[in-house]
């Protein structure tokens, strides 16, 4: 891959969103807190399921860094099943996931294109498969939030390595420790939140 310079002077050696967060620790704090609640907090959807939603939306937005790292975190939560992650990205209707998650991925894809695309029928369908209001809310917000994270990462022209092993190792670490905890390695203490 051609190395492309970031659009602004981001710290060296920190790929993707990490360079941007280190550049602006003040905004990194709420960005990390939001992703922590959405993807790691206690929930009726497993962390693996929520990471699959994040991975799928990042894939639709064609953000290499986000779909690779969240795909790796999803796989780490799902017993290392990288094939399942690939299947969700390519054709989730034929992936070995629950019907409820398939219905939520439909909602997520509508949000990715624009919030108004979500219909009462999409919601009724998800509810028919057992989705709760909180699960629907969080699916909409995960999809919306990754439309932000993806644009942030690509819009600054961050460096995005193409080394799968790097994402795999990082994915295991984030799955184990969570976003706020790993952010302490690249943010000043006061920005690494509570």
Q: Does 137 contact another protein by CB under 8 A?
A: yes
The contact pattern for another protein, residues 44-63, with x = CB under 8 A and - = no contact, is -----------------xxx
Residues 39, 142 contacting (CB under 8 angstroms)? yes
Phi, psi of 149 (to 5 degrees): -55, -45
Q: Does 145 contact another protein by CB under 8 A?
A: yes
**DSSP annotation of 37:** I
Structural tokens at position 154:
């690509």
CB atoms within 10 A of CB 92: 19
| Cα–Cα dist 99/101, whole Å | 5
Question: Considering the complex, what minimum distance in angstroms separates the CB of residue 71 from another protein?
Answer: 18
Question: Considering the complex, what minimum distance in angstroms separates the CB of residue 90 from another protein?
Answer: 21
| Cα–Cα dist 110/61, whole Å | 12
The contact pattern for another protein, residues 85-124, with x = CB under 8 A and - = no contact, is ----------------------x--xxx-xxx-x-x--x-
Structural tokens at position 119:
């219909």
Binding site for another protein (CB under 8 A): 5, 7-9, 20, 23-24, 26-27, 29-31, 33-34, 37-38, 41, 61-63, 107, 110-112, 114-116, 118, 120, 123, 133-134, 136-138, 140-141, 143-145, 147-157
């Amino acid at each position: 891959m051609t190395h492309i310079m970031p659009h602004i002077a981001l710290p060296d050696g920190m790929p993707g969103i990490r360079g941007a967060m280190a550049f602006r620790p003040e905004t990194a704090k709420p960005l990390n807190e939001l992703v922590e609640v959405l993807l790691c907090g206690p929930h009726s959807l497993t962390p693996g399921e929520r990471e699959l939603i994040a991975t799928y939306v990042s894939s639709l937005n064609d953000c290499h860094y986000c779909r690779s790292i969240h795909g790796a975190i999803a796989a780490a939560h799902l017993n290392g099943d990288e094939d399942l992650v690939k299947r969700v990205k390519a054709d989730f209707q034929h992936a070995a996931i629950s019907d409820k998650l398939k219905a939520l991925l439909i909602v997520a894809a509508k949000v990715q294109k624009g919030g108004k695309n979500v219909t009462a029928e999409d919601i009724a369908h998800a509810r028919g498969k057992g989705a709760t209001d909180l699960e629907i809310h969080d699916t909409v917000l995960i999809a919306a939030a990754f439309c932000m994270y993806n644009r942030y990462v690509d819009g600054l022209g961050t460096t995005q390595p193409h080394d799968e092993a790097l994402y795999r190792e990082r994915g295991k670490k984030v799955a184990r420790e969570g976003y706020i905890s790993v952010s302490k390695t690249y943010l000043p203490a006061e920005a690494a939140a509570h």
